[in-house]
Amino acid sequence: MNEYLPGLEGVPATRSNISDLDGIKGILTYRGYPIEDLAINSTFEETCLLLLDGRLPTRAALDDFDRQLRRNRVVKYNIREIMKYLPATGHPMEMLQTAIASLGMFYQGDECLTGSDMCQDLNYVHNMSVKIIARMATIVAMWEHVRNGYDPVAPRKDLTYAENLLYMFSGEAPDPLYAKIMDACLILHAEHTINASTFAALVAGSTLGSPYLVVAAAIGTLAGPLHGGANERVVEMLEQIGSPANVPAWLEDKLSNKEKIWGMGHREYKVKDPRAIILQGLMRELMDQRSGNMSVMFDTALALEAACEERLAPKGVYPNVDFYSGILYREMGLPPDQFTSIFAVARSAGWLAHWREQLGDNRIFRPTQVYAGESVREYVPLDQR
């Protein structure tokens, strides 16, 4: 195949059993289970194990996995010390990539990947996945305190994954609805077929790099505004708009100048992102709890979606997962520049599921190219140029 397809659009990069989507019908499944069912009935812990192992766990298996996650939440003080020397003004995703990459220096774990053969030790793969998923949330929440000059809040073993993440941010027991919303958000962001960051994880994994570096590669890819960084941009956009009354003129200006509307449109979906539908429902629950007392940002978002539906829906452009996730996080008091880091916390489950799948039938990625440069030329010595 010599045809160049920008962005590898439509080019299969792997064969996978992990997730699937139908962008025309708006269907997303993890291991065959619709995302709507998982968001309502599952937990992030159960969804992680489903993605990693390929099946819904028994109660005993889930309890054991949950205990493993809780036991591995604590990180060595060295990681905290590294954080203290990072610029407080640096973006949390840059911190997260640095911290996750450094974990391999303090927690050795590449002994299964030192030879040329594929690693078939599923206990090793499972244990490494547990350690990384457990510590992702800890590191993200630690940074919120360290960058503000405080010692981090220690994780608690008596809380669920979502509860502990919120607790470590605030130092207070989370509101039950907030914990429910966070748990659902983690499930919705955990996996999404072969997106850019997952492809980066596959490429890094195919070299038999350590899982810490595999996840670090994926974090760096997720950070871009055309991928995970879009949820932060949505909040900035809504703040710029200011109020529902400003939406029509603002949207007309953006469309006239062919500028991007953050949180609108998706490469795969030609209908409204099913994850956005679930998140909007969670926003309604939060609004009911507050007796309708929401920030103007939520009303602005609803007005913008309505205006975009009229102008963009005929072109197959609808809200994606980033449109409402950022608003939810903001309403829960989380800092906007941490939104993508929370996305990475969730997506670590999907990255590691694909890492495991890649190791099962590995071949290093080595794509070709369409060369468009000069033909062979004679070298000209420097003094003759």
Q: So which residues are the catalytic ones?
A: 266, 322
Strand partners, 34: 29
Cα–Cα separations (whole angstroms), residue 24 to 38, 271, 311, 382: 21, 6, 19, 58
Residue 379 main-chain phi, psi, to 5 deg: -70, 135
Cα–Cα distance, 190 to 385 (Å, whole number):
56
Cα–Cα distance, 163 to 181 (Å, whole number):
10
State how far Cα 161 lies from the chain centre.
16
Query: What is the largest distance, in Å, between two alpha-carbon atoms of the chain?
Result: 80
Strand partners, 22: 27
Cα–Cα distance, 139 to 93 (Å, whole number):
11
Sequential DSSP letters for 235-295: HHHHHHH-SGGGHHHHHHHHHHTT---TTB--SS-SS--HHHHHHHHHHHHHHHHTTT---
Strand partners, 29: 20, 34
- Which distant-in-sequence residues (6+ apart) come within 8 Å of 274 by Cβ? 26, 27, 28, 35, 36
**Strands (DSSP E) found in 307-374:** none
- Answer for the pair 273, 325: CB distance below 8 angstroms, yes or no: no
